[in-house]
Chain A
């Protein structure tokens, strides 16, 4: 299995196959990450395109990752999503685009989609780091060590951040429900 450092060395030599490997290895996970937070296939594609484009630009400037490629790409994608939220926060009352379930129960499906929209809107109100930790830990199901690497923080700091993020998220969701009544 190719390690990140080997892959990075090949990228530095501008090996075309290495670029293809990076895309094939990391794009599926990044797409899922972007889709879960953005709730829209087209915007998730846009995020992907921009993430990889920024990655190339960073390499050209002699910057970019020096070790963990995945962590780096998640950070870039996350920054793009943060920008996107600043430009257009997701409204809680708009249903997200999803493909229909094979045999959906209309009412339960509606409730589920409303829940998704509400959660995305609440996530958008968190700080970027809080949102990132929730998404990485509970949506991407990464281990604390991996989350720490992506956030470039000690594991202890990630746990504290996670705790605060959950508290804020619960409060936002509770407030949302109360406001609806």
Chain B
């Protein structure tokens, strides 16, 4: 892997470097505003802040020490060293050290008890799974089924956790998750554009589209999202995206919290939390979620514990509550219960 740039790209990047001098008046105003803001009294007193910082520090140290100890014991048992554990963090699913990586992740998850920290971790891990799959696919290696499964599980857990938050937090988290899923979808699509489509990647792409649809629907209908989560987001069923499933299936159509797709609906991308697709339709998976906060609590978009995303993000116009199955449709295993008041919706795909 080299850092060398091709000359054309280097020229383009160099052209972006010059920055006109900052307007001194604006700069002075910005500085004055910041200093004025910093002088404002804070809502909690300094003592409480200090306690908070100490507790946070202690908790982190405990967590990291515990994790490190356990992982080092594991590594020692298997003939490894601290270096092995560190090196494992970059391992890909096909590499020997990968189990050390997933063990470390599992330990971190086990120790993340607070919902916010857990959500952050789950979304970061899901992102890592997608990156692993795309790296393998770009190298022409089919990503192992287990990696996709792990991603599905981490995604599902994050979605369920989001649904358990108070409404304002849930909506904010869903927006963050949606942004993160969009990034993941972009990665997968970038990958698809560079080589032969692999079945695993096609499935990942379809599911990402479904998850995005699920979140769009959830942002329009938070209670529906909660209901769906209580009944369990449906997982992808074995064989649900078999070779016969057309990869070009229209994403998102007829998705929603309604009872699902009608028997003749195009299988695949239509996500839903309803009772599921009828037996003869290829079932679609329907769970999604997204991004989280970076470990050091950087406030900001889709990845921060601070002020977070601006509230202006609105659900896309293409989402809606699906029309649902006819009453006689048999619920697929794992499908969640019917929406108590299914609303006929627009269907439609993800917004760009």
Instruction: Determine how close the nearest CB of chain A comes to the CB of B316; give it in whole angstroms.
Output: 12
Q: B300: which of A48, A76, A137, A169 is its contact (CB, 8 Å)?
A: A76
Q: A24: nearest residue on chain B (CB-CB)?
A: B31
Interface presence of A5 (CB below 8 A): no
Q: Is the CB of B302 within 8 A of A36?
A: no
Q: Is the CB of B297 within 8 A of A64?
A: yes
Q: Is the CB of B38 within 8 A of A139?
A: no
Q: A126: nearest residue on chain B (CB-CB)?
A: B186
Q: Is the CB of A127 within 8 A of B187?
A: yes
Q: Is the CB of B296 within 8 A of A152?
A: yes
Q: Is the CB of A62 within 8 A of B56?
A: yes
Q: B18: nearest residue on chain A (CB-CB)?
A: A98
B50-77 near A? 1/0 per residue, CB < 8 Å: 1011001100000000000000000000
Q: Is the CB of A157 within 8 A of B190?
A: no
State A126–B187 Cα separation when bound (angstroms). Answer: 8
Interface presence of A4 (CB below 8 A): no
Question: Could you say which residues of chain B place their CB within 8 Å of the CB of A126?
Answer: 186
Interface presence of B146 (CB below 8 A): no
Instruction: Determine how close the nearest CB of chain B comes to the CB of A65; give it in whole angstroms.
Output: 7
Q: Is the CB of A78 within 8 A of B300?
A: yes
A57-69 near B? 1/0 per residue, CB < 8 Å: 1101111111000
Query: If A112-B15, A127-B183, A157-B89 touch, does A83 touch B310 (CB 8 Å cutoff)?
Result: yes
B302-328 contacts to A, CB under 8 A, are 302-307, 309-310, 312-313
Q: Is the CB of B9 within 8 A of A173?
A: yes
Q: B309: nearest residue on chain A (CB-CB)?
A: A83
B7-33 contacts to A, CB under 8 A, are 9-13, 15-20, 22-23, 26-27, 30-31, 33
A150-164 near B? 1/0 per residue, CB < 8 Å: 001010110110111
Q: Is the CB of A163 within 8 A of B186?
A: no
Query: If A138-B5, A170-B6 touch, does A76 touch B302 (CB 8 Å cutoff)?
Result: no
Q: Is the CB of A19 within 8 A of B304?
A: no
State A170–B4 Cα separation when bound (angstroms). Answer: 13
Q: Is the CB of A79 within 8 A of B302?
A: yes
How many A-B residue pairs have C-beta atoms within 8 angstroms? Tell me: 190
Interface presence of B3 (CB below 8 A): yes
Question: Could you say which residues of chain B place their CB within 8 Å of the CB of A23?
Answer: 30-31, 34-35
Query: If A60-B43, A115-B12, A138-B5 touch, does A31 touch B309 (CB 8 Å cutoff)?
Result: no
Q: How many residues of A contact B (CB 8 A)?
A: 74
Question: Could you say which residues of chain B place their CB within 8 Å of the CB of A164?
Answer: 134-135, 138
Q: Is the CB of A62 within 8 A of B52?
A: yes
State A62–B52 Cα separation when bound (angstroms). Answer: 6
Q: A72: which of B9, B190, B296 is its contact (CB, 8 Å)?
A: B296
State A86–B352 Cα separation when bound (angstroms). Answer: 10
Q: Is the CB of B3 within 8 A of A83?
A: no
Interface presence of B42 (CB below 8 A): yes
Q: Is the CB of B299 within 8 A of A76?
A: yes
Question: Which of A48, A78, A125 has the largest count of B CB atoms less than 10 A from its CB?
Answer: A48
Q: A65: nearest residue on chain B (CB-CB)?
A: B296
Interface presence of B197 (CB below 8 A): no
Q: A139: which of B13, B44, B294, B295 is its contact (CB, 8 Å)?
A: B13
Q: B30: which of A49, A64, A99, A134 is its contact (CB, 8 Å)?
A: A49
Q: Is the CB of A79 within 8 A of B15?
A: no
Q: Is the CB of B31 within 8 A of A41?
A: no
Interface presence of B168 (CB below 8 A): no
Question: Could you say which residues of chain B place their CB within 8 Å of the CB of A116?
Answer: 12, 15-16
Q: B306: which of A24, A41, A54, A152 is its contact (CB, 8 Å)?
A: A54
State A167–B168 Cα separation when bound (angstroms). Answer: 39
Q: B35: which of A19, A35, A41, A112 is its contact (CB, 8 Å)?
A: A19
Q: Is the CB of B34 within 8 A of A154?
A: no
State A41–B24 Cα separation when bound (angstroms). Answer: 12
Q: Is the CB of B19 within 8 A of A36?
A: yes
Q: B312: which of A19, A24, A87, A157 is its contact (CB, 8 Å)?
A: A87
Q: Is the CB of B17 within 8 A of A56?
A: no
A128-159 near B? 1/0 per residue, CB < 8 Å: 11000010011100000000000010101101
Interface presence of A82 (CB below 8 A): yes
Instruction: Determine how close the nearest CB of chain A comes to the CB of B68; give it in whole angstroms.
Output: 15
Q: B299: which of A19, A45, A57 is its contact (CB, 8 Å)?
A: A57
Q: B12: nearest residue on chain A (CB-CB)?
A: A119
Q: Is the CB of A62 within 8 A of B34?
A: no
A81-108 near B? 1/0 per residue, CB < 8 Å: 0110011000000000011000000000
Question: Could you say which residues of chain B place their CB within 8 Å of the CB of A163?
Answer: 1-2
Q: Is the CB of A80 within 8 A of B90?
A: no
Lowest 3 CB-CB distances: which A-B pairs, in order? Answer: A79-B300, A62-B52, A83-B301
Q: List 13 A-B contacts (CB under 8 A).
A: A19-B38, A23-B35, A53-B37, A56-B34, A57-B307, A62-B50, A65-B296, A76-B298, A79-B299, A79-B304, A80-B300, A83-B302, A98-B20
